Amino acid sequence: QRSAKGVQIKAAHTYGSLIRAYGFLNDVDRVWATWREMRMRRVTPTCVTLGCMVEAVTNNGQPEVGLTLIHQMLASEETRSLVNAVIYCSVLKGFSHRKCFDQVWAVHDEMRANNMQYSVVTYNTLIDACARSGDMSRISLLLEQMSQEGIEPNVVTYSTIVKRYCLDN
């Protein structure tokens, strides 16, 4: 199992590092070639590898593709457990940055339906979507959900909210 350069690749984390690097370089073709090679060699991805892949395609303007990949992983018994809120967050950010706010909330609903464990980062991503869209009406509910789940808002949470209010005034 050697890459085109002759470096032996045996583990999912190595593939993840390559995928992440190619994504950072905006080389989506190599991102996909690396993913296909990994899958062809029957190397099972880890949650980190999957996260690198979803992030790579999403950061290169393809959050729909990242979401499709999540759906493929959820459909397989072998890979379902790899999907987590951190991976979904890449897609949330991608849709938010593209101002596709209906898709942000559809993914949020899907995450809830799939019982994803939220963190302060997940909520901050959703609050950022509210700030970007100007839809501040959702923030109270998000803060209430955070409280119910025992998740403390942090400086990012508050600064995101304040930033939007400053833009409005």
Greater model confidence, 40 or 8: 40
What the block records as the tokens of 157 is: 């949470």
| Mean pLDDT of the region 128-157 | 94
- Of 40-44, 69-73, 90-94, 108-112, which range is least confident? 40-44
Task: Give residue 159's pLDDT.
Answer: 94
Q: For the CA atoms of 52, 56, 57, 58, what is the dihedral angle to 10 degrees?
A: 90
Task: Give residue 4's pLDDT.
Answer: 53
pLDDT band at 6 (very low <50, low <70, confident <90, very high): low
pLDDT in tens, 75-85: 999 999 999 99
**What percentage of the chain reaches a pLDDT higher than 70?**
95
Q: Is the pLDDT of residue 146 over 90?
A: yes
The closest alpha carbon to 40, from 70, 74, 1, 75, belongs to 1
The closest alpha carbon to 70, from 86, 60, 128, belongs to 86
Q: Is the pLDDT of residue 1 over 50?
A: no
The neighbour count for residue 78, using CB atoms within 10 Å, is 9
Q: Is the pLDDT of residue 9 over 80?
A: no
The contacts of residue 88 (CB under 8 Å, 6+ apart) are: 70, 107, 110, 111, 116, 122
pTM to 2 decimal places: 0.88
Contact 122, 85 (CB under 8 A): yes
| Mean pLDDT of the region 94-121 | 96
What the block records as the tokens of 49 is: 């590898």
Q: Is the pLDDT of residue 102 over 90?
A: yes
Task: Give residue 166's pLDDT.
Answer: 83
Q: Is the pLDDT of residue 66 over 80?
A: yes
Encode 17-81 in three state secondary structure: HHHHHHHHCCCHHHHHHHHHHHHHCCCCCCHHHHHHHHHHHHHCCCHHHHHHHHHHHHHCCCCHH
Q: What is the chain's mean pLDDT, rounded?
A: 93
